[in-house]
Structures are given as structure tokens and as C-alpha cells.
Amino acid sequence: MDSKKIIIRETDNRGRGVFAKKLIKKDELIAEWDGKIYDDSHEDWDDDLFNHAIQFAPLKWRDSKGIARILNHSCEANCGIKNLFQIVAMRDIVPGEELTWDYEMTENNKFGWQMECQCGTPSCRKLIGRYDNMPQATRDRYKGYISEWLLK
């Protein structure tokens, strides 16, 4: 399920991004990870999957067939995670605004996945990886929008 209120276009510095075409209301569903489920022993792992599947249990990940793969990271995200696999708006998002989520909202894997952040926000953490690395103030700001498996 991908929202009909979005459009994919190029960003200034991060390749493709997802942008609002119409007003998106707080808690509105944007996209879902609806693809294949993988574990840590799956032979199909490659860089693309490693960088786009989300973690939803200690040794389980899920890919997406839709735009969930395209939403960029931001350290000041406007979208979050609900029900393990859904990206929802954390606040109203106006037309023209890029939709982003914080990748540390789902990840805490033992494989050391990391990426250099390019969000450019005032609170940019520079290196994104595990939920364990997310500052407490950020966790507090994202309350209710962090993957539930990390909170158990």
C-alpha cells in the first residue's frame, strides 16, 4: 500500500526522495514493508537488500515492493513506524515537503549496518546505525513511532 498523496522525485543531494503532493495528516499511512522476509542466514543478502530491508525482530528483516524503500532518512524525521511495517506521518506534512523517517527507528542488528547521514538538519547525528545509538532526547521526541520490537 503506497499513499496516493505522494510523488517520487530527485532531491537536491540524496538521489530520489518521496514528497507530499497533498496535505498528509498526522498518523496517516504512507507506505508499508510488504515484501519478502529474511533471516540472518538467507543467501539472497546483497548490498541493496542490506541497505533497504528493515529489521523487525532480533534476526529478521523485511523488504518492500513499494515506496518504503525510497523514503530517505532524516535525524529530524516527519514519519515514523507503526505495527512493525508501516510508515506513518508523525505530524501533518504539507505539499512539497519531503517525507523522511529515522532509520534507527527499526535497526539494532549485529552486523554493524551504518550509513553516513546527509540530512543536513541542525540535530544531524552524522552516522546512522543502531537504535542503541539514538540519543534519549530523540527517542523521547519519536515516542509512539519507534518499531515496537525495539521497545520490548
CATH number of the domain residue 13 falls in: 2.170.270.10
Q: Is 126 part of any domain?
A: yes
> Could you give the angle at the alpha carbon of 146 between the alpha carbons of 145 and 152, nearest 5°?
130
Q: Is 49 part of any domain?
A: no
Q: Is 56 part of any domain?
A: no
User: How many CB atoms are closer than 10 A to CB 52?
Assistant: 15
Q: Is 53 part of any domain?
A: no
* Per-residue CA distances from 130 to 101, 103, 125 (Å): 14, 8, 12
Half-sphere exposure of 132 (CA within 13 A, CB side): 7
Q: What is the pLDDT of residues 96-140, one digit of tens each?
A: 999 999 999 999 987 778 999 999 999 999 999 999 999 999 999
* Per-residue CA distances from 18 to 2, 7, 9, 92, 124 (Å): 11, 6, 7, 15, 20
| pTM of the entire predicted model | 0.93
Q: What is the pLDDT of residues 7-29, one digit of tens each?
A: 999 988 778 999 999 999 999 99
Q: By the 8 A CB rule, do 28 and 101 touch?
A: no
Residue 76: domain span: 6-31+65-151
What is the rounded distance in angstroms from the CA atom of residue 56 to the CA atom of residue 38?
A: 10
Q: Is 54 part of any domain?
A: no
Q: Is 26 part of any domain?
A: yes
Q: Count the domains in the chain.
A: 1
